[in-house]
Amino acid sequence: MTNQPTTPAPETLTSPEQRNAWRFGFSPQAEIWNGRLAMLGFIIALFVEYFSGQGVLHALGII
């Protein structure tokens, strides 16, 4: 029988406190927050375009 290195079990996110923790780096919590903020930004961009009649870059004066 050979000695195989043991690997730690993957982190499970079972409680809301663990899921909503603010952690940096490549962690499941960071990816959850990244998705939430991306959805929020997309909705804001849609509202800006709907109410101003022009794209976000035009509304900001970049183009």
**Spatial distance between the Cα atoms of 27 and 24, rounded to a whole number of angstroms:** 7
SS3 assignment for the chain: CCCCCCCCCCCCCCCHHHHCCCCCCCCHHHHHHHHHHHHHHHHHHHHHHHHHCCCHHHHCCCC
Give me the pLDDT at residue 10, please. Answer: 59
Q: How far is CA 32 from the centre of its chain?
A: 5
pLDDT in tens, 4-62: 767 655 566 667 677 767 676 777 888 888 999 999 999 999 998 999 888 888 888 88
Euclidean distance between the first and final Cα of the chain, in Å? 67
Give me the pLDDT at residue 14, please. Answer: 66
Give me the pLDDT at residue 24, please. Answer: 67
Give me the pLDDT at residue 44, please. Answer: 93
What pTM was computed for the model? 0.58
